[in-house]
Amino acid sequence: MGVQEDTIVALSTPWGESGIGVIRLSGPDCLPLTKTIFRRSVIAPRHNYVGSYQTLEGLSLDDVTFVYFAPNASFTGEATLEISCHGNPLILRQVIRDCIQRGCRQANPGEFTRRAFTNGVLDLCQSEAVADLIHAKSQQALAIARNQLLGSLSKKIDRWVAILMEQIAWIEAYLNFPEEDLPEANRRAYFNELYVLSEEIDKLVHTHAHYQSLQNGITTVIVGAPNVGKSTLLNTLLGHNRAIVSPMPGTTRDFIREYVQLESYGLRLVDTAGIHASCDALEHEGIQKSLEQLEKADLILWVLDQSQPMPHFEQSFIQLLDPSKTLALLNKADLPCTDIDFSSYLRQYSYCSISLKEDVEAFNKIQTFIRDFLDQRYEDFSQAAFMVNERHAESLMEAQIAIKKAIHLFQTQGFEDCLAAELKAALHAMEQMVGRVDYEQILDRIFSRFCIGK
């Protein structure tokens, strides 16, 4: 039985006790199953019904609401049935088991969205946006995923594809008449068009560097010398005591990971061991892990004790504190400050003075400080209509290589057949993004990260 010939079933809401659990079916058997299960001879599409779910054995399993969607008017493009049961896992399992006994098959991860793609309801970029919408960890990521689901990225790629196809058509027309050369005016126009296209691609590829940060959360590493307040900062940002706070230095031997939503940004917080010279083998290992975390950081919160002289740090540590992603927090403002002018040490960095003992005030100040810094760092992307993931970036870079070769051929009066070949290579790479070429090799990679029922 082919993929499009069978009817699949899955729970589309998370397992566990809840008010409602939604079970989704998609495939050609949905209409007859709806009539049989709910004992109705007429079912109007997109009409919400209340009924009793009747099993094959005639057992009235649950009072539910259900909606039938006709082919070409559903998420998958196929006949679809959505059943809203009471969210008891026992009921949900029995409904799914009964559907399977009636001939349905348990859906694979991402299979509903894959069918929407196969049936032409969504292209590949829109299909990926479904998963991005589900897993987004920030308001920016949600907005971008919504826009991409509506086709914002697809429309841009379609425009670029149209440009390439028009150029290929003109060039191949001249190839069919070898006695004619491509007019110089056409060459200049095509060159300018490709040059602008190349610049647009560069800008879009650049968004890939920030895609994972906005989508999955900004990896935020808390570093500093021992006993400066790193763990207190973690607890302040979380709003509860997650890390042990002690006046004894070296309390944190390994790094602690937590997630926090800070206004519109999602932060993946990493509290690390204090950076200092140590003869303790276990503590030294913790410090090495801290340095490894710094290399992966999107944002670094460098905590300093302004009541003490500036500590000495190894150059290898300082080199990891990239000023473009490092915020210095001068803690313990409630204590008498040293005569040291910390600003002279922190000229390259953004910094502020705080007292983590003042919970509410400190939290508000830190939140504003971090938000303003991130707004500047991500200002080009926080309002973006789209961003590109790793797969998109790979395809775009492949297209860019071919386009730059075509630009060079235009500049050097290259042969038209070579031009056409490079433009076709760019076209193929772009069409891979939206799935209009042989896409079977990349489908499993894309849809495997979906949850069951999507």
State how far the Cα of 202 lies from the Cα of 113, in Å rounded to an integer. 30
| CATH number for the domain that contains residue 78 | 3.30.1360.120
Do 225 and 313 fall into the same domain?
yes
For 448, which DSSP code? T
Q: Which of 377, 400, 424 is the last residue of a domain?
A: 377
Going by pLDDT thresholds of 50, 70 and 90, the confidence category of residue 83 is very high
* Residue 105 resides in a domain: yes
- Is 174's pLDDT higher than 80? no
Do 253 and 272 fall into the same domain?
yes
* Residue 445 resides in a domain: no
Do 271 and 172 fall into the same domain?
no
Handedness of CA 158, 164, 167, 170 (dihedral sign): negative
Do 147 and 78 fall into the same domain?
no
State how far the Cα of 442 lies from the Cα of 431, in Å rounded to an integer. 13
Handedness of CA 402, 406, 407, 411 (dihedral sign): positive
* Residue 92 resides in a domain: yes
Look over the chain and give the mean of its residue pLDDT values, rounded to a whole number.
Answer: 83
Lowest mean pLDDT among 7-11, 99-103, 212-216: 212-216
pLDDT at 252 (0 to 100): 47
Lowest mean pLDDT among 114-128, 164-178, 348-362, 399-413: 164-178
State how far the Cα of 326 lies from the Cα of 284, in Å rounded to an integer. 23
Do 268 and 330 fall into the same domain?
yes
State how far the Cα of 265 lies from the Cα of 382, in Å rounded to an integer. 10
| CA 272 to chain CA centroid, nearest Å | 26
For 83, which DSSP code? E
Sheet containing 8-11, strands listed edge to edge, beginning at the edge strand earlier in sequence: 49-54, 60-69, 80-87, 18-26, 8-11, 105-106
* Residue 242 resides in a domain: yes
* Residue 3 resides in a domain: no
Do 288 and 358 fall into the same domain?
yes
Do 361 and 235 fall into the same domain?
yes
Measured between alpha carbons, how far is residue 277 from residues 45, 225, 281, 354 in Å? Answer: 71, 10, 11, 26
pLDDT tens-digit readout, 275-286: 754 444 445 565
Q: Return the biggest CA–CA distance within the chain.
A: 87
- Is 347's pLDDT higher than 90? no
pLDDT at 262 (0 to 100): 84
pLDDT tens-digit readout, 30-49: 999 999 999 999 999 999 99
Contact 28, 47 (CB under 8 A): no
pLDDT at 189 (0 to 100): 85
State how far the Cα of 93 lies from the Cα of 97, in Å rounded to an integer. 6
| CATH number for the domain that contains residue 360 | 3.40.50.300
Do 132 and 202 fall into the same domain?
yes
- One-character DSSP codes across 383-419: T-S----HHHHHHHHHHHHHHHHHHHHHHTT--HHHH
- Is 248's pLDDT higher than 80? no
Do 26 and 104 fall into the same domain?
yes
Going by pLDDT thresholds of 50, 70 and 90, the confidence category of residue 63 is very high
Domain count, the chain: 3
Q: Which two tokens stand for residue 337?
A: 């400050």
Write out the residue range of the structural domain in which residue 74 sits: 8-122
Contact 290, 307 (CB under 8 A): no
Q: Which residue has the tokens 């348990």?
A: 106
Do 84 and 154 fall into the same domain?
no
Each as own residue / partner, the long-range contacts of residues 192-196 (CB below 8 Å, 24 or more positions apart, any chain) are 193/163, 193/167, 194/167, 194/403, 194/406, 194/407, 194/410, 195/407
* Residue 448 resides in a domain: no
* Residue 451 resides in a domain: no
For 2, which DSSP code? -
Q: Which residue has the tokens 């005569």?
A: 339
- Is 411's pLDDT higher than 90? no
pLDDT at 67 (0 to 100): 98
Going by pLDDT thresholds of 50, 70 and 90, the confidence category of residue 287 is low
Do 144 and 113 fall into the same domain?
no
pLDDT at 438 (0 to 100): 46
Query: What is the share, in percent, of the chain residues with pLDDT greater than 90?
Result: 36
User: In what helix (H) or strand (E) does residue 350 lie, and over which residues does it extend?
Assistant: strand 350-353
For 245, which DSSP code? -
Do 222 and 336 fall into the same domain?
yes
